[in-house]
Each structure stands twice: as structure tokens, then as C-alpha cells.
Structure 1
Amino acid sequence: MRFGLSLAPESARPLVRIAQDADRYGLDLLGIGDHPYRRGTADTHALMATVLAVTTRIRVLPAVACLPLRPPAALAKAIATLDRSSGGRVLLGLGAGTSWDGIEAYGGTRLGAAEARRALEEAVQVIRLHWSDQQGLRFQGEHYRFAAGRPGPAPETPIPIWLGVTGPRGLDLAGRVADGWIAPSSLVPPKRLAEGQRRLDEAAARAGRDPADIRRVYLLEGALDVRGSRGFLHGPPRQWVYELTELAVGHGIDSFLYAGDPDHLTSFALEVIPAVRELCARQSRPRVTPPNAPATQGTTPAGAPAHPQK
């Protein structure tokens, strides 16, 4: 499992210090939001470059890049440059676009859902072509056109592309072409995860891919505090431990990005993460049943609190 922080690039916050804290706490991932049209936000790529220069181990990604305002060929060059300068610590999260009023106000083109999906698929093709070792690159699509005599720069190591999608057609696309699926908890609550996973797996299998090769990333949009449980991902660390364990063991989620208040990052990193790792390891160990022990109808982690229905 991987754990990380999803950071909204609000320029009023001490963004670099927060990123350094995440690195110091041993988090695996730092996702940085990309909403260029929002007032008071830092530029995501510039912030990524700064963060990579002042950290040593954490891997950084736009979560997710705003494709309608990031031409894919230029995006491919920027991400590969960051990867090479950081020793291979960059991933790419990519989305079709939301907040179309803001995108249009910033010079982007408003697209319908189907058009945005097709543009996203073309962008993945353009980016991978740009990172390839092919010569005489040509791409002619409905939304993007690209021609270059030589590719590059190539990333230091292959960069995974994770798609932030939620609808059935978007999941089909992720299953066909993506290296990972980023699911926000506000749009894909646990009761929708099973159907999303099924759709993703079936699309991957139809494309001749192994579904197990697709990373499952869950964006934890909640509140970590001690004021008592107020629903899914809104409660004290103990509640989060059991809810994340259920997501990992019961739903196959292998990566978590904490998107709550950065002021509670210490609690997430030092209380929640170690306990989730331990509880997941304990639940995955084979149980040894003593001879003549009575059969049980089911098991619940010792001391697990009652939870709202998820």
C-alpha cells in the first residue's frame, strides 16, 4: 500500500513546508491539485518543481492535471523534465476537466462529456508518443494534432498515468489505457466502489490487460478530528483506521491520498497510517484454528467501533 497527501495549492498556505512535512513523515505520494482558473492558487507545475527540489523521497504528481488548459505535448515535456531533474520521482494524474465555466474563462474550450472523454484518450496517446523512442512522430486526432521529428525528452523511468474519472465510460477508458484509477471519496463512496472496480476490471480484460496492473487510488475527502463520528471519513483517527482498512481489505484499494486539512497531517501520518498497515497485515495473515474449535459466522477486528453504513 501507498499513502500520500493531496494538497490544494492555495497560495496563502505554507505549501512548501507542508510538502516537506509529508516527505519527512515518510509519505509515498504528494498529489497537487491543478485548477489554474481559481483565484489565489499557485501554478501546479511550478510548485511541483519547487517541492521536488526541497524533498528527497516523496513522489509528486498533479492530481489531476487540468487537460483542457494543459496541451498534452507540452504537458508531456514538462512532466518528463520534472522526472529527469528529480531522479524519477514524478507521476502523472490526468483528468478530462471540470468547472467548465472557469476553464472557458481562462481560454479553454468547453466540451461535452463524450467529447472530453475522447480528448482525454487522445491526450494519453500523445503523451506516451512523446515519451517514446519513435522517430518522426505524427498524431492526428479529433482534438489534438502533433508532429515532431524526434520525441523527448524521455522520462528517467516509465511514468505511470493515472486517470481521475468517475462515470461508467470514464472507467471503461481507464481500464483500457490507464496505469491507475483515482477515485474521489465524495463522488465514489464505498457503496459505489464495487461497481467501479468491476467496470474497470472488465474493461481491462477486454483490452487484453491484467486488471491487477491498474493501481487503485482513493482520494480521502474527509475530516480527521476528535469530535466524534459524523459519518464516513469524518471522525477521529481510530475511525479512519478501520474505514481505511475496510477499503484496503474489502475493496482492494492500494493507495490513499489524504485530502483533509493539512493541519491534521501529523495525525494521519503518525497515527492512522501505521495502524492501518498493522491491521491490514493482521487481517491478511492466515488464521490457525485449534482442533475442535467451534465454527464462527464471521469476524470483526477486535475493538472495532460501530460505523455508519458505508
Structure 2
Amino acid sequence: MTDYGHQLSFGLSLSPAANSLEETRQLALRADAGGLDYLAVQDHPYQPGYLETWTLISHLSATTNRISFLTDVADLQLRPPTMLAKAAASLSLLTDGRIQLGVGGGAFADAIASMGGLPRRGARMVAFTEESLHLMHQALSGGAVRMQTPHHTVTGYRAGPVPAAPVQLWLGAQKSKMLAVTGRAADGWISPLNIYVPPEEVPARQQIIDDAATGAGRDPRSIRRIYNVIGSIGPLGTGQGLVGDVPVWVDALTSWALQLGFDTFIFWPTGDAETQLDLFTSEVVPAVRARVAAIREQR
């Protein structure tokens, strides 16, 4: 059993599709009013029907009041890490701290190349990503930022402004080398969707992160754990991911928090998004919070 003890948080994944912008706006407002913690936006700028992720988040942050945002996840090979840190720090200040950064090494090398990016694969991508995390931590802390490696040439620019609320760097990772980078250098792990990393495969991945963190002199409990959960809430039936009524969802998310170690769940609804969101915010989330709190109190 693995419970890292973090306070639970819940979010909704929003589509960046340009042709559903009005629906996306309405979902963002409902999630904000419904008490969710995060709105997450995927980052695939090479898709012609998708809005640019950072621009969409900036737009939605101006129309919402309290909910935070994260990139799920920003492609570091298309977004220079120092500039991405600058953008995140700026928007954090403009939104009173409602920004966290999910980042990734870039999963689609050919698509990255099609936009003029330098595609890195394998060990080069892993090394580039780990160095990028260190660069971004420097940049988000302010002061002189320097790095001279085969992957980065940063000669000492003065970083700032420094946001009052820390912007965390959560790394999207699936395979062992990137999971180890998470343990050494990231503030959190963003797991791929539960259809790609099913619950039974999570403990081995958490162990890789924990071992790497311990080896780097870090407390594994300091690392956040975020699960992207696709599915639908309603009568039992067929479909992708977690499918079932409210009790099924409450049981699953409670177990995944207390036994798998996740503290944040990002919901990717497959049914009618508005109806699914209402069920998630009004029934699933409060029940999971209450049950997890009660079990923790009994320990």
C-alpha cells in the first residue's frame, strides 16, 4: 500500500480543438464554479485543428476566477525551457498563482520536426529533458541562469519576475529512464491515461520514481503523483477506461489514492462532457475526499 499523504486534488481535461471553443469555455466555467482544482490542456500544436495550448490557457485564465491550469503536457522540444519558464512565471503573477507546468520530452519526433523543431530520441531526449528541468527550476527561482552542455547553451540571463506562488514542474513519463528523471529532478509525475498505464502497472512505475528520488537524496513523499483518467460515469457498460456508476468511480479513485499513491486525478470524460462533469464535481469528488480523509484518520 502506498499513500504519500498529499491533499487530494481533481481536475478536468479540456480539448484544445478550435471548433469546440465555446463548449470548452463553458466547461471551464462549470469546473471553476463546481470547485475543481485544475483545468488541464494537452499540447499538440502540429495538429491543424488545435489551438495553441499556452494561448488557450491564457484566454481561459482570464474568464475564470479561482481554478488553476496545467499543461498536460507541454512539449519541451518545441518550447525552449527558459522561455516556457518565463511564460509560466508571468502568467502565474497575472493569475495570482493559478499555473502549474506539466512538461514532457516530446513523444512525436516526426511531428516536432515538421514544425522546425530538433527531434531528439532515446537517450538524447532523456538527457535533454532532465537538463531542461534543471534550467526551468533555475529560471523560476530568479537570478542568473547558466548551462553549457551539448543540449543547452544558456549564458547567464537574469531570470524574473519570480512568482509569489511556486510554479511546480510535473513530468509526463511512462518508461523507466524518464520515470527515473522524474524522481531525480521533477516536482511531480504525470502518468499517461489509465488505458496506457493501467492501475496494475502503476506500482512498478512508482517504485522507479521512489528509488531514483532516494538515490538523489530526495524524499519520495515530496513528489506529486497525477493520474489522467479517461472514462464515463453512469450505468455499467462498454467504453474506454473507467466505466461505471458513481460508487464504482468512488471505489476506484479511493483505491488509486490510498494504494497506488496518486494525489491528483484529471478526468477525461468520454460521454456528454457537461453531464459527466456535473456528476464528477457533485458526487464523485466529494465522496472520494470524504472516504480518503476518513481512512487516513483511522490509521
With the length of structure 1 as denominator, give the TM-score of the two structures.
Answer: 0.87
Residue deviations 1:67-96 (CA, integer Å, cap 9, x gap): 111111111111111101001111110001
- The aligned residue for residue 65 of structure 2 is 56
Q: Distance in 2 between matches of 1:81 and 1:212?
A: 29
Distance 1:235 1:54 in 2: 32
Paired residue type of 2:298: P
Following superposition, the deviation at residue 232 of structure 1 comes to: 5.0
2:287 to 245, 253, 275: 275
Candidates 139, 148, 169, aligned match of 1:161:
169
Q: In the alignment, which residue of structure 2 is the partner of 1:74? A: 83
Equivalent residue, structure 1, for 2:182: 174
Q: Which amino acid aligns with 2:138?
A: L
SS at 2:183 equivalent: helix
Taking a change above 3 Å as real, the CA distance of residues 272 and 130 of structure 1, as seen in their structure-2 partners, is same
- Distance in 2, matches of 1:38 and 1:17, equals 23
Q: 2:111 matched to which residue of 1?
A: 102
Residue type at the aligned position of 1:250: Q
Alpha-carbon separation, structure 1, partners of 2:189 and 2:102: 9
1:270 aligned partner, one-letter code? S
Instruction: Name the SS of the counterpart of 1:259 in structure 2.
Output: strand
Report the Cα distance in structure 2 between the residues aligned to 1:113 and 1:67, rounded to whole angstroms. Answer: 15
Runs in 1 of length 4+ with deviation above 6 angstroms? Answer: none
Give the CA RMSD over aligned residues: 1.7
Structure scoring higher RCO (CA < 8 A, sep ≥ 6) equals 2
Matched, 1:152 2:160: yes
Aligned-pair CA distance for 1:175? 0.3
Supply the AA of the counterpart residue of 1:276. V
Query: What is the deviation of 1:250?
Result: 1.4
Secondary structure of the 1:182 match is strand
How many Å apart are 1:49 and its aligned residue?
Answer: 1.0
Indicate whether 1:202 and 2:211 are aligned: yes
Provide the C-alpha distance between the structure 2 equivalents of 1:60 and 1:285, rounded to a whole number of angstroms: 30
* Aligned-pair identity (%): 38
Amino acid at match of 2:18: S
> How far apart are the structure 2 equivalents of 1:180 and 1:70?
19
Change over 3 Å in CA distance of 1:71–1:230 after alignment to 2? closer
Shift of 1:227: 4.5
Range with bigger deviation, 160-169 or 45-54: 45-54
Quick one: which of 12, 18, 29 aligns to 2:19? 12
Change (3 A) 1:110 1:133: closer
Question: For residues 104 and 116 of structure 1, what CA distance do their matches in structure 2 show?
Answer: 14
Give the counterpart of 1:24 among 19, 26, 33: 33
Q: Helix, strand or coil for the counterpart of 1:92?
A: strand
Compare 273-282 and 87-96 and name the one that shifted more.
Answer: 273-282
In 1, the alpha carbon distance for the partners of 2:140 and 2:288 equals 36
**1:260-271 matches, cutoff 5 A:** 260-261=269-270, 262-263=273-274, 264-271=276-283
**Which of 228, 250, 253 is matched with 1:244 structurally?**
253
CA deviation map 1:153-204 (0-9, x unaligned): 2222221100000111111100001110011212221111111111111111
Q: How much has 1:18 moved relative to structure 2?
A: 1.4
Asked if the contact 1:229/1:239 (under 8 Å) is kept, the reply is no
1:16–1:50: 8 Å Cα contact kept in structure 2?
no
Question: What amino acid sits opposite 1:152 in the alignment?
Answer: G
CA distance in 2, matches of 1:160, 1:140: 24
Distance 2:297 2:158 in 1: 51
**Length-normalised TM-score, structure 2:** 0.90
Query: Which ranges in structure 1 are unaligned for 5 or more consecutive residues?
Result: 288-310
Deviates most, 83-92 or 13-22: 13-22
